[in-house]
């Protein structure tokens, strides 16, 4: 299944045990270098998350008051931040690539906040090695002047691919934060989508959002955005779990929503007070495709396609005498390469797929007086590998990895039959 989305994203987003955690490093926006193909090694990143800790630092009873001896004897005490720390340590020992995120409302709720404000919790969260938290409704309790400004996004760079993390709230804030009644909260969709496009331009293709919002309000927001793999939520104090028979379970973990791409974005949260720690995995199928790339398309003259095939036949960019770094794979095109001919005249008997008005597709001889829709990956389109006659830029489509997954899903049980390829001879 895809995720993390952006959406899709060939990411394969799965959930393991349904709740636990871990830590890592972050960097601020900017200075992110786009990886070249084949630079990426196989990766599997564990995303752990909490929300609504609400300053539960010490043992607490069911009413969030101090835990007395009787409560301890009856095993009716929550352990808050202590429990989180124990789980983090345990998972750190089990998994070498992990990030720990928080869905907001980590302050307020206990006397610790009245006396220490947020500093003592910040010390604990830094010690546990949280990577990212977010602004939430309780951050407004002491007035807007006490809010910390946060960057529109952060980039996690410690392992494998860079992960973009965007933090935002919606107009729900006005209903859950008393001091925000005169603050206008705009629809975040366009702003968040702009941040996503900026991250994409830096080569960051896996996007996580942290959204402290009522759980039921996350769905319409998610459905109107593209390319988000995972949303870490909070505020609703909901327990999500695959085991629907568990007490207090209010939905599946993770919960999926079809986004504007038609792909699935996954939404998670982990109840409250550190009683649960969420766990979800991102991994990459490198045995299918060795690197991440978006699909792009462009309308080109048929001569462009002929020149491209000549480049492949000669393994050099004929008009600029540049060697091709790699060979291209084609679909919807057939040709015979005559190695006895000079460069520029080797591609013969070129046939291309032509779609008729009724939707049927058949191979026909390449007509140099017509145009073709050329679909490739951004790496090739930009001129890398010296394959295309002329580099071009175009809006990003789906991730190639997602295209491959969707293709595999069209086969019964995901089994592809072997066949002898005769597209290029």
CATH number at residue 121: 3.60.21.10
pLDDT digits (tens, 9 = 90+) for 366-391: 899 989 888 888 888 888 778 888 88
244 and 319 assigned to the same domain? no
- Can you tell me the mean pLDDT for 295-303? 89
Domain presence at residue 7: no
Domain presence at residue 425: no
Domain presence at residue 5: no
- CA separation for the pair 64, 46 (Å, rounded): 30
DSSP per position, 41-92:
PP-EEEEEEE---TT--S-B-TTSSBPPHHHHHTT--B-HHHHHHHHHHHHH
**For the chain, how many helices (H) and strands (E)?**
10, 19
Q: How confident is the model at residue 303 (pLDDT cuts 50, 70, 90)?
A: very high
Domain presence at residue 361: yes
Burial of 296 (0-12, 13-18, 19+ CB in 10 A): buried
Domain presence at residue 289: no
pLDDT at 14: 27
Label the pairing between strands 249-251 and 163-168: unpaired
351 and 229 assigned to the same domain? no
**What number of CA atoms fall less than 13 Å from residue 159's CA on the CB side?**
18
Look at residue 200 and give its three-state secondary structure.
helix
- CA separation for the pair 7, 420 (Å, rounded): 33
- CA separation for the pair 289, 292 (Å, rounded): 8
41 and 88 assigned to the same domain? yes
Q: Percent of the chain, pLDDT > 90?
A: 6
Q: How confident is the model at residue 37 (pLDDT cuts 50, 70, 90)?
A: very low
pLDDT at 21 over 50: no
Look at residue 198 and give its three-state secondary structure.
helix
Domain presence at residue 421: no
Of 224, 255, 283, at which residue does a domain stop? Answer: 283
69 and 127 assigned to the same domain? yes
325 and 224 assigned to the same domain? no
pLDDT at 11: 22
Q: Percent of the chain, pLDDT > 70?
A: 69
306 and 329 assigned to the same domain? yes
Q: Which of 73-87, 169-183, 254-268 has the lowest mean pLDDT?
A: 169-183
pLDDT at 230: 92
pLDDT at 355: 86
pLDDT at 143: 57
The mean pLDDT value of the chain amounts to 74
- CA separation for the pair 305, 330 (Å, rounded): 11
402 and 257 assigned to the same domain? no
Residue 95 contacts residue 87 (beta carbons within 8 Å): no
Residue found under tokens 């500093």? 119
pLDDT digits (tens, 9 = 90+) for 140-165: 556 555 556 667 788 999 886 789 99
Q: How confident is the model at residue 325 (pLDDT cuts 50, 70, 90)?
A: low
pLDDT at 356: 85
| Number of domains making up the chain | 2
Residue 127 contacts residue 48 (beta carbons within 8 Å): no
Q: Determine how many CB atoms are found less than 10 A away from the CB of residue 383.
A: 15
- CA separation for the pair 276, 269 (Å, rounded): 9
312 and 179 assigned to the same domain? no
Residue 9 contacts residue 235 (beta carbons within 8 Å): no
Of 263, 283, 303, at which residue does a domain stop? Answer: 283
- CA separation for the pair 420, 215 (Å, rounded): 51
Please report, for the domain that includes residue 347, its CATH number. Answer: 3.90.780.10
49 and 196 assigned to the same domain? yes
265 and 306 assigned to the same domain? no
pLDDT digits (tens, 9 = 90+) for 207-254: 999 987 777 788 888 899 988 999 998 877 778 887 888 888 888 888
Q: Determine how many CB atoms are found less than 10 A away from the CB of residue 423.
A: 12
pLDDT at 2: 26
Look at residue 347 and give its three-state secondary structure.
strand
Q: Domain range holding 375?
A: 295-414
**What number of CA atoms fall less than 13 Å from residue 293's CA on the CB side?**
22
pLDDT digits (tens, 9 = 90+) for 44-96: 788 998 887 766 676 666 656 667 677 666 666 666 777 788 888 888 888 88
pLDDT at 36 over 90: no
pLDDT at 20 over 90: no
Q: Which of 93-97, 103-107, 153-157, 338-342 has the lowest mean pLDDT?
A: 103-107
Please state the separation of Cα 59 from the chain's center in Å. Answer: 36
Domain presence at residue 424: no
pLDDT at 359: 84
Of 283, 316, 345, at which residue does a domain stop? Answer: 283
pLDDT at 329 over 70: yes
- Can you tell me the mean pLDDT for 132-139? 69
323 forms bridges with which residues in the sheet?
316
pLDDT at 156: 93
Residue 132 contacts residue 210 (beta carbons within 8 Å): yes
Domain presence at residue 166: yes
pLDDT at 76: 67
31 and 134 assigned to the same domain? yes
Query: 317 — phi, psi (to 5°)?
Result: -80, 100
- CA separation for the pair 199, 193 (Å, rounded): 10
Residue 135 contacts residue 81 (beta carbons within 8 Å): no
pLDDT at 208: 93
Task: List the one residue out of 57, 103, 49 whose CA is nearest residue 78.
Answer: 57
DSSP per position, 242-263:
S-TTSTTEEE-SSEEEE-TTSS
218 and 268 assigned to the same domain? yes
What separation, in Å, do the N-terminal and C-terminal C-alpha atoms of the chain show? 36
- CA separation for the pair 222, 260 (Å, rounded): 8
pLDDT at 56: 65
Please state the separation of Cα 371 from the chain's center in Å. Answer: 35
pLDDT at 4: 29
pLDDT at 347: 87
pLDDT at 213: 77
């Amino acid at each position: 299944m895809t995720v993390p989305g952006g959406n899709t994203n060939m990411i394969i987003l799965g959930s393991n045990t349904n709740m636990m955690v871990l830590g890592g490093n972050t960097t601020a926006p900017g200075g992110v270098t786009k990886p070249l193909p084949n630079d990426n090694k196989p990766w599997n990143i564990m995303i752990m998350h909490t929300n609504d800790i609400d300053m539960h630092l010490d043992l607490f009873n069911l009413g969030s008051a101090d835990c007395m001896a009787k409560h301890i004897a009856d095993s009716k005490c929550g352990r808050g931040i202590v429990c989180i720390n124990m789980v983090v340590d345990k998972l750190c020992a089990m998994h070498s690539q992990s990030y720990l995120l928080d869905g907001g409302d980590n302050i307020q709720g206990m006397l610790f906040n009245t006396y220490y404000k947020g500093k003592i919790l910040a010390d604990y969260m830094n010690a546990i090695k949280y990577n990212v938290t977010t602004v939430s409704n309780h951050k407004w309790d002491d007035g807007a002047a006490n809010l910390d400004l946060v960057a529109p996004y952060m980039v996690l760079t410690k392992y494998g691919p860079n992960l973009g993390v965007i933090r935002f709230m919606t107009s729900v804030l006005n209903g859950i934060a008393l001091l925000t009644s005169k603050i206008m909260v705009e629809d975040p969709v366009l702003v968040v989508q702009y941040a996503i496009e900026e991250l994409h331009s830096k080569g960051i293709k896996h996007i996580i959002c942290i959204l402290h919002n009522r759980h039921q309000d996350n769905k319409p927001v998610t459905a109107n955005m593209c390319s988000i793999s995972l949303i870490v939520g909070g505020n609703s104090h909901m327990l999500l779990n695959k085991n629907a028979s568990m007490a207090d379970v209010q939905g599946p973990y993770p919960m999926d929503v079809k986004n504007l791409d038609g792909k699935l974005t996954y939404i998670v949260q982990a109840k409250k007070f550190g009683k649960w720690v969420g766990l979800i995995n991102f991994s990459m199928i490198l045995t299918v495709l060795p690197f991440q790339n978006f699909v792009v398309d462009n309308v080109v003259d048929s001569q462009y396609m002929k020149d491209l095939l000549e480049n492949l036949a000669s393994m050099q960019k004929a008009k600029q005498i540049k060697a091709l770094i790699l060979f291209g794979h084609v679909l919807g095109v057939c040709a015979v390469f005559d190695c006895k001919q000079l460069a520029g005249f080797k591609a013969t008997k070129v046939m291309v797929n032509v779609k008729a008005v009724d939707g049927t597709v058949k191979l026909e001889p390449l007509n140099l007086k017509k145009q073709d829709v050329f679909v490739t990956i951004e790496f090739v389109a930009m001129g890398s590998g010296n394959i295309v006659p002329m580099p071009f830029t175009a809006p990003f489509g789906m991730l190639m990895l997602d295209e491959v997954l969707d293709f595999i899903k069209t086969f019964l049980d995901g089994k592809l039959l072997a066949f002898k390829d005769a597209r290029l001879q």
